[in-house]
Amino acid sequence: MGAAGDPHHDRRGLGVAVGLDAQAGRVGRGRGAGWARPTTPTVTSGPSGTASGNLGAVVIRAVVFDVGGVLERDVPAERWLGPWRERLGLTEAEFLAALARVDPDDVILTGGLSEAQYGRRYAAALSLSDAQLAEFMAGLWDWYCGELDHELIGFAASLRPRYATAILSNSADGARREEQARYGFAGLFDPIIYSHEAGLAKPDPRIYALLCDRLGVPPGDVVFLDDVQDNVDAAVDFGLRGLLHRSAAESIDAISSLIAGI
């Protein structure tokens, strides 16, 4: 999650949460997301593959997916926030300033604020009644969880049991409950690592170390799919095989090529 006003973020920032780019009108759910995308998926082999050092054929044992912007398609934040801005009679500048007060130290991603705590901060920042807060938070989770990418989920399911499948997600408290209730991720991915539970967030290399430890797989045997270039770069630096996500079809082709050793 980017801080409010950060021009580079994905949808895992809400101020939880909410990273807004005033000029572009974007809200992001993540830290350090670049909006530029290459024309094709970028795949980078890790240290154990033939691309980087004559160490034998590529062996893939696990495929790891980001959630926001990958397994879940982004939906426009304006659907959630626009009506509230009008309803509260705030200018865009006033609204952004209020949201910026929710998480000024950018700690939601790493578990520094519980859902109850950041909910109270939203209520204070926007002067919401209890009933309004409940409605606001329901809208927040509808936006946060986006729309399931059925093509990509189907592909992930097809990889099991031959390959381990996992989730590594920058997140806010409440995400596990909401995403499990809507999409049943626990039936398809193990482990599921949420940053707010781990106390670490991408692109911190320690979260990639935690991922490999939980998988019981060395970095070079892991494919990692994320829509944020900084997160992919950090994963590659750690030794994972990073893939920048643009669309389900392109990512499926790229993952399949890595698995096949092409």
DSSP string covering the chain: -PPTT-SS--TT-HHHHBEEETTTTEEESSSS------SS--EE--TTSGGGTS--S----EEEE-TBTTTEE---THHHHHHHHHHTT--HHHHHHHHHTTSTT--TTTTSS-HHHHHHHHHHHHT--HHHHHHHHHHHHHHHH-EE-HHHHHHHHHHTTTSEEEEEE---TTHHHHHHHHH-GGGT-SSEEEHHHHT--TT-HHHHHHHHHHHT--GGGEEEEES-HHHHHHHHHHT-EEEE-S-HHHHHHHHHHHHHT-
What structural domains does the chain harbor? 14-31+75-145 (no CATH), 43-73+147-260 (3.40.50.1000)
Residue 61 pLDDT greater than 90, yes or no: yes
Residue 178 pLDDT greater than 60, yes or no: yes
Residue 76 pLDDT greater than 80, yes or no: yes
pLDDT at 15: 56
Span 211-236, pLDDT tens digits: 999 999 999 999 999 999 999 999 99
Span 186-215, pLDDT tens digits: 999 999 999 999 999 999 999 999 999 999
Mean pLDDT of the chain: 84
Residue 4 pLDDT greater than 50, yes or no: no
Looking at the chain, the whole-number percentage of residues with pLDDT higher than 70 is 78
Span 84-135, pLDDT tens digits: 999 999 999 999 999 999 999 999 999 999 999 999 999 999 999 999 999 9
